[in-house]
């Protein structure tokens, strides 16, 4: 019941309608299932999956059914991941990341930068922090802070679907609101909701889902395409 209800809320609240073919979806779900099992995730829960493929740039909101070993999709939306071709920019790292209070998130203050951008979205938009992560660029290793956040409503939203960020994951204001309201990956925060700083971060009128999770998976399906082409040769 909860899953179906979330699907309906997602469909009503997220304007972006992304058509994908069945084979691609199956491959995404197979990859997600493999990673969750390998990480020994022992409870059914919601999670997020980002494909940083330059021509895809999609985030999947999903449910992992541990008993059936099955992935169910709640919905999908466009994102922007890192563009390593620009100076000071990096590809978004590939891995499985946890949303925990060890890397405490925060909320956007809504201020604009010199270019007039609200880089983290409108005021009070949620910012998820996944900690310092290593990424390679031109033979060197760099540490970047991996964040997932909204973007400027006037300039950044129109660029979702393209790899234009500095390395973080930019999401729509609508998805930001959805994830914040229902706490799909806020499991660790809800378990530690008594400290004052956690109470400050979590919205007061939230309606957290029952099967809260904590995982963000970032992958790159373009690597699968290269592997498949290589196999044919």
Range of the domain at 155: 2-232
What are 161's two structure tokens?
């679907």
In the chain, the number of structural domains is 1
Distance, in Å, from the CA atom of 95 to the CA atom of 81, rounded to the nearest integer, reads: 14
Q: What's the pTM? A: 0.94
Q: Domain holding 94: CATH number?
A: 2.40.440.10
Contacting residues for 216 by C-beta, under 8 A, at least 6 apart:
47, 48, 49, 50, 96, 97, 98, 99, 128, 130, 148, 169, 185
pLDDT, position 77: 98
**3-class DSSP assignment, residue 216:** strand
Angle between helices 173-182 and 2-13 (to 10 degrees): 150
What are 150's two structure tokens?
């909204």
Pairing of β 140-149 and β 169-170:
parallel
**3-class DSSP assignment, residue 211:** coil
pLDDT, position 233: 42
Cβ density class 142-176: b for 16+ within 10 Å, e for less: eebebbbbbbbeeebbebbbbbbbbbbbbbbbbbb
Give average pLDDT by consecutive 10-residue segment, the chain, 233 residues.
94 92 94 96 96 96 96 97 84 96 95 84 96 89 94 92 94 98 97 92 95 97 72 47
């Amino acid at each position: 019941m909860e899953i179906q209800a979330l699907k309906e809320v997602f469909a009503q609240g997220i304007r972006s309608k992304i058509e994908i073919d069945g084979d691609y979806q199956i491959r995404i779900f197979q990859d997600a299932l493999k990673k969750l099992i390998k990480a020994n995730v022992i409870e059914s829960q919601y999670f997020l999956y980002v494909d940083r493929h330059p021509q895809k740039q999609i985030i999947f909101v999903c449910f992992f059914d541990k008993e059936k070993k099955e992935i169910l999709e709640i919905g999908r939306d466009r994102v922007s991941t890192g563009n390593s071709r620009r100076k000071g920019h990096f590809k978004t790292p590939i891995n499985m990341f946890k949303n925990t209070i060890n890397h405490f998130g925060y909320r956007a203050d809504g201020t604009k930068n010199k270019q007039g951008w609200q880089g983290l979205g409108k005021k009070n938009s949620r910012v998820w922090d996944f900690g310092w992560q290593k990424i390679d660029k031109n033979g060197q290793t760099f540490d970047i802070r991996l964040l997932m956040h909204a973007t400027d409503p006037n300039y950044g939203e129109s660029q979702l679907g393209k790899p234009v960020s500095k390395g973080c994951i930019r999401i729509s204001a609508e998805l930001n609101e959805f994830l914040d309201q229902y706490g799909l990956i806020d499991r660790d925060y809800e378990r530690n909701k008594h400290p004052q700083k956690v109470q400050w971060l979590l919205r007061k009128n939230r309606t957290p889902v029952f099967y809260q999770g904590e995982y963000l998976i970032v992958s790159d399906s373009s690597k699968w395409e290269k592997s498949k082409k290589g196999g044919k040769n």
